[in-house]
Amino acid sequence: MILHSPRTRPKPWRQRRQSIHAKWLVPFTAFEWCWEWLAYLLSNWSFLEVLEYLGTFSVLIGVIFYFSESGDRVKQRHYQAWQVINTAQGKGGSGGRIEALQELNADKVPLVGVDVSSAFLLGLNLHGADLMRSDFSSADLRNSNLIAVNFSLANLHSANLRDSSLDHAVFAQADLADADLAGCSLVGADFSGTVLDDADLRQADLKDLKWQQLKSIKGANLAGVRNAPEGFQAWAMAHAAIDQSSAPE
Protein backbone atom coordinates (compact mmCIF):
# COMPACT_ATOMS: atom_id res chain seq x y z
CA MET A 1 0.00 0.00 0.00
CA ILE A 2 1.27 3.49 -0.90
CA LEU A 3 0.75 6.11 1.82
CA HIS A 4 0.91 9.83 1.12
CA SER A 5 1.08 12.55 3.75
CA PRO A 6 0.63 16.22 2.76
CA ARG A 7 3.75 18.38 3.00
CA THR A 8 3.78 21.55 5.08
CA ARG A 9 3.64 24.77 3.08
CA PRO A 10 7.09 26.42 3.19
CA LYS A 11 7.40 29.80 4.92
CA PRO A 12 7.65 32.93 2.72
CA TRP A 13 11.21 33.85 1.75
CA ARG A 14 11.14 37.01 3.89
CA GLN A 15 10.51 35.01 7.06
CA ARG A 16 13.02 32.37 6.06
CA ARG A 17 15.63 35.08 5.30
CA GLN A 18 15.26 36.62 8.72
CA SER A 19 16.16 33.31 10.38
CA ILE A 20 19.56 33.26 8.61
CA HIS A 21 22.30 34.85 10.73
CA ALA A 22 25.31 34.19 8.52
CA LYS A 23 25.34 35.84 5.10
CA TRP A 24 27.31 33.01 3.49
CA LEU A 25 24.40 30.67 4.25
CA VAL A 26 21.90 32.74 2.23
CA PRO A 27 22.60 31.12 -1.21
CA PHE A 28 22.40 27.60 0.21
CA THR A 29 19.21 28.32 2.13
CA ALA A 30 17.64 29.92 -0.95
CA PHE A 31 18.51 26.84 -3.00
CA GLU A 32 16.96 24.56 -0.38
CA TRP A 33 13.88 26.82 -0.06
CA CYS A 34 13.23 26.55 -3.84
CA TRP A 35 13.31 22.78 -3.69
CA GLU A 36 10.99 22.76 -0.67
CA TRP A 37 8.42 24.70 -2.70
CA LEU A 38 8.79 22.37 -5.64
CA ALA A 39 8.32 19.33 -3.38
CA TYR A 40 5.30 20.98 -1.78
CA LEU A 41 3.65 21.70 -5.12
CA LEU A 42 4.33 18.21 -6.51
CA SER A 43 3.04 16.54 -3.33
CA ASN A 44 -0.36 18.02 -4.04
CA TRP A 45 -0.40 16.91 -7.69
CA SER A 46 -2.69 13.88 -7.93
CA PHE A 47 -1.33 12.98 -11.34
CA LEU A 48 2.00 11.94 -9.80
CA GLU A 49 0.20 9.78 -7.26
CA VAL A 50 -1.67 8.05 -10.08
CA LEU A 51 1.63 7.42 -11.89
CA GLU A 52 3.02 5.80 -8.75
CA TYR A 53 0.05 3.47 -8.53
CA LEU A 54 0.41 2.66 -12.22
CA GLY A 55 4.07 1.79 -11.68
CA THR A 56 3.15 -0.68 -8.96
CA PHE A 57 0.38 -2.07 -11.14
CA SER A 58 2.79 -2.59 -14.05
CA VAL A 59 5.03 -4.70 -11.79
CA LEU A 60 2.02 -6.86 -10.93
CA ILE A 61 1.16 -7.26 -14.62
CA GLY A 62 4.78 -8.24 -15.34
CA VAL A 63 4.67 -10.94 -12.67
CA ILE A 64 1.39 -12.31 -14.07
CA PHE A 65 2.79 -12.46 -17.60
CA TYR A 66 6.01 -14.09 -16.34
CA PHE A 67 4.11 -17.01 -14.84
CA SER A 68 1.58 -17.23 -17.67
CA GLU A 69 4.42 -17.67 -20.18
CA SER A 70 6.36 -20.21 -18.09
CA GLY A 71 5.04 -23.06 -20.25
CA ASP A 72 6.44 -21.45 -23.40
CA ARG A 73 9.85 -21.00 -21.74
CA VAL A 74 9.91 -24.68 -20.77
CA LYS A 75 9.07 -25.68 -24.35
CA GLN A 76 11.83 -23.45 -25.65
CA ARG A 77 14.30 -25.00 -23.20
CA HIS A 78 13.30 -28.49 -24.31
CA TYR A 79 13.61 -27.53 -27.97
CA GLN A 80 17.13 -26.25 -27.38
CA ALA A 81 18.10 -29.44 -25.51
CA TRP A 82 16.84 -31.63 -28.37
CA GLN A 83 18.67 -29.42 -30.83
CA VAL A 84 21.94 -30.03 -28.97
CA ILE A 85 21.36 -33.80 -28.99
CA ASN A 86 20.32 -34.02 -32.63
CA THR A 87 23.07 -31.72 -33.90
CA ALA A 88 25.75 -33.89 -32.28
CA GLN A 89 24.22 -37.16 -33.50
CA GLY A 90 26.80 -39.67 -34.68
CA LYS A 91 29.71 -37.63 -33.35
CA GLY A 92 32.16 -38.47 -30.57
CA GLY A 93 32.67 -36.39 -27.46
CA SER A 94 29.92 -34.97 -25.29
CA GLY A 95 28.88 -31.90 -27.24
CA GLY A 96 26.66 -30.74 -24.37
CA ARG A 97 24.57 -33.90 -24.56
CA ILE A 98 25.06 -34.89 -20.93
CA GLU A 99 23.45 -31.68 -19.69
CA ALA A 100 20.75 -31.79 -22.39
CA LEU A 101 19.75 -35.38 -21.62
CA GLN A 102 19.73 -34.80 -17.87
CA GLU A 103 17.66 -31.64 -18.23
CA LEU A 104 15.03 -33.38 -20.36
CA ASN A 105 14.86 -36.33 -18.00
CA ALA A 106 14.55 -34.04 -14.97
CA ASP A 107 11.48 -32.54 -16.67
CA LYS A 108 10.05 -36.04 -17.22
CA VAL A 109 10.42 -35.85 -21.00
CA PRO A 110 10.52 -39.35 -22.60
CA LEU A 111 13.82 -39.99 -24.38
CA VAL A 112 12.40 -42.72 -26.60
CA GLY A 113 14.51 -43.35 -29.69
CA VAL A 114 17.30 -40.93 -28.76
CA ASP A 115 20.50 -41.53 -30.74
CA VAL A 116 23.74 -40.87 -28.85
CA SER A 117 25.83 -43.60 -30.44
CA SER A 118 29.61 -43.21 -29.97
CA ALA A 119 29.10 -40.30 -27.56
CA PHE A 120 31.29 -39.69 -24.50
CA LEU A 121 28.75 -39.59 -21.65
CA LEU A 122 30.87 -40.44 -18.62
CA GLY A 123 28.92 -40.10 -15.34
CA LEU A 124 25.54 -39.58 -17.02
CA ASN A 125 22.60 -39.42 -14.60
CA LEU A 126 19.34 -40.58 -16.20
CA HIS A 127 17.69 -42.24 -13.20
CA GLY A 128 14.29 -43.61 -14.26
CA ALA A 129 14.53 -42.41 -17.87
CA ASP A 130 12.47 -43.90 -20.69
CA LEU A 131 15.11 -44.86 -23.27
CA MET A 132 13.08 -47.37 -25.21
CA ARG A 133 14.45 -48.02 -28.74
CA SER A 134 17.38 -45.68 -28.04
CA ASP A 135 20.81 -46.06 -29.64
CA PHE A 136 23.75 -46.05 -27.22
CA SER A 137 25.96 -48.28 -29.36
CA SER A 138 29.68 -47.70 -28.70
CA ALA A 139 28.84 -44.91 -26.23
CA ASP A 140 31.04 -44.39 -23.17
CA LEU A 141 28.72 -44.48 -20.15
CA ARG A 142 31.17 -45.43 -17.43
CA ASN A 143 30.17 -44.63 -13.84
CA SER A 144 26.68 -43.58 -14.87
CA ASN A 145 23.45 -43.61 -12.84
CA LEU A 146 20.98 -45.57 -14.96
CA ILE A 147 18.87 -47.00 -12.17
CA ALA A 148 15.35 -48.08 -13.24
CA VAL A 149 15.97 -46.98 -16.84
CA ASN A 150 13.83 -48.52 -19.58
CA PHE A 151 16.25 -49.82 -22.23
CA SER A 152 13.66 -52.01 -23.95
CA LEU A 153 14.60 -52.67 -27.60
CA ALA A 154 17.63 -50.40 -27.20
CA ASN A 155 20.89 -50.77 -29.07
CA LEU A 156 23.74 -50.94 -26.55
CA HIS A 157 26.11 -52.91 -28.76
CA SER A 158 29.73 -52.31 -27.63
CA ALA A 159 28.60 -49.70 -25.08
CA ASN A 160 30.96 -49.12 -22.15
CA LEU A 161 28.83 -49.26 -18.99
CA ARG A 162 31.63 -50.22 -16.65
CA ASP A 163 30.97 -49.53 -12.94
CA SER A 164 27.55 -48.02 -13.67
CA SER A 165 24.42 -48.38 -11.51
CA LEU A 166 21.81 -50.33 -13.48
CA ASP A 167 19.63 -51.61 -10.66
CA HIS A 168 16.10 -52.51 -11.83
CA ALA A 169 16.87 -51.40 -15.38
CA VAL A 170 14.79 -53.07 -18.10
CA PHE A 171 16.74 -54.51 -21.05
CA ALA A 172 13.84 -56.35 -22.67
CA GLN A 173 14.93 -57.41 -26.18
CA ALA A 174 17.90 -55.03 -26.01
CA ASP A 175 21.21 -55.64 -27.77
CA LEU A 176 24.06 -55.72 -25.24
CA ALA A 177 26.43 -57.76 -27.39
CA ASP A 178 30.09 -56.93 -26.70
CA ALA A 179 29.02 -54.41 -24.01
CA ASP A 180 31.31 -53.73 -21.05
CA LEU A 181 29.29 -54.37 -17.88
CA ALA A 182 32.25 -55.09 -15.63
CA GLY A 183 31.67 -53.99 -12.05
CA CYS A 184 28.11 -52.87 -12.77
CA SER A 185 25.31 -53.15 -10.25
CA LEU A 186 22.51 -55.05 -12.01
CA VAL A 187 20.34 -55.76 -8.97
CA GLY A 188 16.85 -56.70 -10.13
CA ALA A 189 17.62 -55.91 -13.79
CA ASP A 190 15.34 -57.47 -16.41
CA PHE A 191 17.17 -59.34 -19.20
CA SER A 192 14.10 -60.79 -20.89
CA GLY A 193 14.95 -61.39 -24.55
CA THR A 194 18.31 -59.64 -24.17
CA VAL A 195 21.37 -60.46 -26.28
CA LEU A 196 24.53 -60.60 -24.12
CA ASP A 197 26.91 -62.25 -26.56
CA ASP A 198 30.56 -61.46 -25.75
CA ALA A 199 29.53 -59.03 -23.00
CA ASP A 200 31.94 -58.47 -20.10
CA LEU A 201 30.12 -59.16 -16.82
CA ARG A 202 33.16 -59.58 -14.58
CA GLN A 203 32.55 -58.59 -10.96
CA ALA A 204 29.00 -57.48 -11.79
CA ASP A 205 26.37 -57.68 -9.01
CA LEU A 206 23.56 -59.91 -10.34
CA LYS A 207 21.34 -60.10 -7.27
CA ASP A 208 17.69 -60.84 -8.16
CA LEU A 209 18.54 -60.72 -11.87
CA LYS A 210 15.63 -61.63 -14.14
CA TRP A 211 17.52 -63.94 -16.49
CA GLN A 212 15.12 -66.80 -17.25
CA GLN A 213 14.17 -65.44 -20.69
CA LEU A 214 17.64 -64.30 -21.75
CA LYS A 215 17.96 -64.70 -25.51
CA SER A 216 21.70 -65.32 -25.89
CA ILE A 217 24.81 -65.18 -23.71
CA LYS A 218 27.41 -66.84 -25.96
CA GLY A 219 30.95 -65.76 -25.12
CA ALA A 220 29.92 -63.52 -22.21
CA ASN A 221 32.56 -63.41 -19.47
CA LEU A 222 31.09 -64.23 -16.03
CA ALA A 223 34.34 -64.23 -14.05
CA GLY A 224 33.81 -63.10 -10.47
CA VAL A 225 30.12 -62.23 -10.81
CA ARG A 226 28.52 -61.55 -7.44
CA ASN A 227 25.17 -62.65 -5.99
CA ALA A 228 24.23 -64.58 -9.12
CA PRO A 229 20.72 -66.09 -8.89
CA GLU A 230 20.48 -69.83 -8.35
CA GLY A 231 20.93 -71.71 -11.56
CA PHE A 232 22.06 -68.73 -13.63
CA GLN A 233 25.75 -69.53 -13.94
CA ALA A 234 25.15 -73.19 -14.74
CA TRP A 235 22.64 -72.22 -17.43
CA ALA A 236 24.95 -69.55 -18.84
CA MET A 237 27.94 -71.88 -19.04
CA ALA A 238 25.76 -74.45 -20.76
CA HIS A 239 24.91 -71.78 -23.34
CA ALA A 240 28.54 -70.97 -24.20
CA ALA A 241 29.30 -68.28 -21.62
CA ILE A 242 32.91 -68.24 -20.35
CA ASP A 243 34.73 -67.63 -17.07
CA GLN A 244 38.06 -65.93 -17.76
CA SER A 245 39.28 -63.85 -14.85
CA SER A 246 42.49 -63.14 -16.73
CA ALA A 247 40.74 -61.58 -19.74
CA PRO A 248 42.26 -58.25 -20.82
CA GLU A 249 40.83 -55.10 -19.23
- Residue 22 is classified by DSSP as S
pTM score, two decimals?
Answer: 0.71
89 compared with 43, residue with greater pLDDT: 89
Determine the pLDDT at residue 92. Answer: 80
Determine the pLDDT at residue 123. Answer: 97
The answer to whether residue 45 scores a pLDDT higher than 70 is no
Angle in degrees, 0-180, between the axes of helices 97-106 and 70-87, rounded to the nearest 10: 140
Determine the pLDDT at residue 89. Answer: 85
- Cα 242 to Cα 249: distance, rounded to the nearest angstrom: 15
Mean pLDDT of 14-20: 74
Four-CA torsion 133, 138, 140, 142, nearest 10 degrees? 80
92 compared with 189, residue with greater pLDDT: 189
pLDDT band at 102 (very low <50, low <70, confident <90, very high): very high
pLDDT in tens, 223-248: 999 999 999 999 999 999 999 986 54
pLDDT band at 10 (very low <50, low <70, confident <90, very high): confident
